[in-house]
Amino acid sequence: MENLRLLFEAPLLPVQLLLDGVLIGAIFALAALGMSLVWGVMGIINVAQGELVMLGGYAAYFLYRAGVHPLFGVPLAALLLYLLGWALYRTLIFRVVDQDLFISILATFGLSILLQQLANAFFGADVRTAESGFGTLVLLGGALTISRIKLVAFAAAVVTGTALVLFLKTSRMGQAIRATSQNARAARVMGVDTDRVYARTFAINAAICGASGALVAMTWVVHPYLGLPYTIRSFMIVIIAGLGAVHAVLASAVALGIAENFAGFIFGAEYQAAFVFALLVGILVARRFWLARQRRYLA
Amino acid sequence: MKPLLGYGGLLAISLLLPLLAPAYQSQLAFLWVMVVLALTWDLLGGQMGYNSFGNIVFFGVGMYACAIVQRDAGLAYFPGLFIGMACGAAIAVAAAALLGAGILGLRGHYFAIATLGLGVAAGELASGWEFVGAGGGMVPPLFPGAVGGRERFFYYLCFAIAAITFPVLRWLYRGRFGLALNAIRDDEDKAEAMGLHTTRYKATAWCISALFLGLAGGAVGNLTGFIDPREVAFAGSTYGVWMVLMAILGGKGTLWGPVLGAVIFHLTKELFWTYLLGWQRVALGLLIVVIVIFFPLGILGWARQKWPERFGQRVEAA
């Protein structure tokens, strides 16, 4: 509890943790946006979400090695992952869309192992990073430091979120996606090609994850096994935010980022992962009792 | 009379196996462990319709508890081992009851993801906890007997666990308990409306599952001879995944399916996996995807659909 005392003694330390938390929360928000989209439209919980983030990170890393500036690496990684997401839908995911929940959850669970192990086999287990070269921003005479890449990541997350909302609200495809999510059968009757809608939705999800992964690779590191925590975080965020509310996703992602930063500082970084998983279980159980009190848990 | 003969034959073969193939005793011991893992997963995943990715927690808890008793109780080897296994099983059951009170109220997706988090959290906690050796793991005491006696002993120990698990589950599935579990799988709200205390049944099922997993964990810790928090005890990427795969492969929701799946998977694994040269885990992921998508009923589920009358289901003439 040494660290806890430190928090109160150094007044700027909590501010630093808070700021960092807000900024990394934005990166979590991206993957969560994708998960909420796929969950809402296709009714699938994609357990392989974190693996898409991981692959986005590798895409950014290899682009960086090839001499592409990391900032261009983000849209390029998103594009590559868009194609991958589309391919995954056409080979696997379309088979589980209308199936019961156990099949989709087990299938994406298998997919997550497959992608994770393929990455391990091809890219090796080494930890890699794409150096952004942005340096850090020093405020208040060195009392506060913010790495600029986190600011970029925050901006990118906000831009992506806004773009997604605009796309869903205004474009033809966005309307089709919303119609499908409201009632797939009715949408089919009205002439929407739901299969194409699903393919697009899953590909867009993969692209968002790819962007998120590229930002992860620039902010921290990327390795084959980083997927699961991102899946878990996305899931938590979506549960708290509910489906289909972008600002709520952003808000709860930021809250998670802050909570995680403080927990990592107080308990030590080695328990940060354990904290995330324990928090998930805690949130789910709390949610269940809350729903039960409202007599809503049967629904 | 006929099934009795079949069971007797199986028992005889199992008891004689280590004498017939003494070189493969430890692999055969793992075969029985696999059977236990698949059977206990199917209790929830197949019979009750609750996919748990976190059953490995009880396996690891049993393993650690057993090793701690062996280390700290100051008993001789065999009393230490058996008391350790009993403690491991008891603590696993307690953990299941405690966790179950919160988690088993969750449905479907929520339960699956919560257990997924649970398994990893346990591994992370164990690898940060100094008392159990943190990331360095633990080493159970050495087997005192002669060379080769160790494998034979653990073969019979693992076989004994499997041989207790199977009839207990068979007995449970035949009675009211099995019907209750199937009712929960088919429609939990209706089951509850009919007056079943569904959460009580679910918690009991999880505790039974944890009991046998805890026992198996204690044995495996000693059989492996080394307890690593992430790779052996809370091995989400090996045992944790295998148990799901084996149960689905054999046919989830059937009594013999997990046994069959475990035998097929373990034999295939032991025979061919060395040829895969580091691609084993890739193959594992691929196998899960393919089986779940193209063969979700499993071997026995498929057979039951094809020849329902052989499985004691009457088919109405159309």
Compute φ and ψ for B138, nearest 5 degrees: -130, 155
> Of residues B107 and A58, which shows the higher confidence score?
A58
Counting Cβ atoms within 10 Å, is residue A7 exposed (0-12), middle (13-18) or buried (19+)? middle
Could you tell me the two tokens for B122? 């346990």
Note whether residue B222 is domain-resident.
yes
| Mean pLDDT along residues B3-28 | 81
- B/e letters for B166-176, b = 16+ CB within 10 Å, e = fewer, are beebeebbeee
Cα distance from B292 to chain A (closest Cα, Å)? 6
Given a contact cutoff of 8 angstroms between Cβ atoms, the answer to whether A234 and A31 are in contact is yes
Task: Give the per-residue pLDDT at B188.
Answer: 87
Q: Residue B118 and residue A111: Cβ atoms within 8 Å?
A: no
Residue of A nearest to B118 (CA): A277
Whether chain A has a CB inside 8 Å of the CB on B98: the answer is: no
pTM of the model: 0.87
DSSP letters spanning B273-286:
GGGGTT-HHHHHHH
Regarding an ipTM greater than 0.85, the answer is no
Question: 3-state class of A144 per DSSP?
Answer: strand
Q: Residue B282 and residue A284: Cβ atoms within 8 Å?
A: no
For residue B68, the domain's CATH number is 1.10.3470
Note whether residue B78 is domain-resident.
yes
Question: 3-state class of B54 per DSSP?
Answer: coil
Question: 3-state class of A222 per DSSP?
Answer: strand
Note whether residue B83 is domain-resident.
yes
Note whether residue B16 is domain-resident.
no
Cα distance from B109 to chain A (closest Cα, Å)? 7
- Distance, CA of A227 to CA of A112 (rounded, Å): 8
Which residue segment(s) compose the domain that B40 sits in? 23-304
Q: How many CB atoms lie within 10 A of CB B23?
A: 10
Residues in chain B: 318
Q: Which residues contact B69 (CB under 8 A, 6 or more apart)?
A: B75, B80, B83, B84, B87, B88
Q: Residue B109 and residue A111: Cβ atoms within 8 Å?
A: no
Closest CA to B264 of B282, B242, B283, B280: B242
**Residue B1 to residues B7, B171, B208, B310, Cα–Cα distance (Å):** 10, 18, 29, 17
Q: Residue B109 and residue A116: Cβ atoms within 8 Å?
A: no
Given a contact cutoff of 8 angstroms between Cβ atoms, the answer to whether B38 and B252 are in contact is no
| Mean pLDDT along residues B88-116 | 88
pLDDT in tens, chain A (299 residues): 667 777 777 777 788 888 888 888 888 898 899 999 999 899 888 999 999 999 999 999 999 888 888 778 889 999 999 999 999 999 999 998 888 777 888 899 899 989 999 998 898 888 887 776 666 767 666 667 777 888 888 888 888 888 888 998 999 999 999 999 889 899 999 999 999 999 999 999 999 999 999 988 888 888 888 888 899 899 999 988 877 678 888 889 999 999 988 888 888 777 777 888 888 888 888 888 888 787 665 54
Whether chain A has a CB inside 8 Å of the CB on B185: the answer is: no
Sorting pLDDT into bands at 50, 70 and 90, what band is B157?
Answer: very high
Task: Give the per-residue pLDDT at B318.
Answer: 45
Q: How many CB atoms lie within 10 A of CB A159?
A: 11
Whether chain A has a CB inside 8 Å of the CB on B281: the answer is: yes
**Among B128, B281, B288, beta carbon nearest to A271:** B128
Given a contact cutoff of 8 angstroms between Cβ atoms, the answer to whether B71 and B138 are in contact is yes
Q: Residue A111 and residue B110: Cβ atoms within 8 Å?
A: no
Question: 3-state class of A137 per DSSP?
Answer: strand
Could you tell me the two tokens for A106? 């087990």
Note whether residue B27 is domain-resident.
yes
**Among A110, A114, A281, beta carbon nearest to B103:** A281
- In chain A, the domains with their CATH numbers are 2-269 (1.10.3470)
Note whether residue B167 is domain-resident.
yes
**Residue A43 to residues A51, A87, A179, A187, B194, Cα–Cα distance (Å):** 19, 19, 14, 15, 29
Given a contact cutoff of 8 angstroms between Cβ atoms, the answer to whether B241 and B56 are in contact is no
Tell me how far the alpha carbon of residue B198 is from its chain's centroid: 23
- Distance, CA of B266 to CA of A5 (rounded, Å): 53
Per-residue pLDDT tens over the stretch B35-49: 999 999 999 988 988
Pairing state between β A136-139 and A144-147: antiparallel
| Mean pLDDT along residues B215-228 | 89
Tokens 């943790």 belong to residue: A17
Note whether residue B309 is domain-resident.
no
Residue B122, H or E segment: helix B108-126
- Distance, CA of A69 to CA of B103 (rounded, Å): 46
Chains A & B: contacts with CB separation below 8 Å? 122
Residues of B whose CB is below 8 A from A273: 120-121, 124
Note whether residue B168 is domain-resident.
yes
Task: Give the per-residue pLDDT at B235.
Answer: 77
What letter would DSSP give residue B143?
P
Residue of A nearest to B126 (CA): A274
Residues of A whose CB is below 8 A from B49: 102
- Distance, CA of A118 to CA of A225 (rounded, Å): 11
Task: Give the per-residue pLDDT at B315.
Answer: 56
Cα distance from A135 to chain B (closest Cα, Å)? 32
Number of domain units in chain B: 1
Sorting pLDDT into bands at 50, 70 and 90, what band is B1?
Answer: low
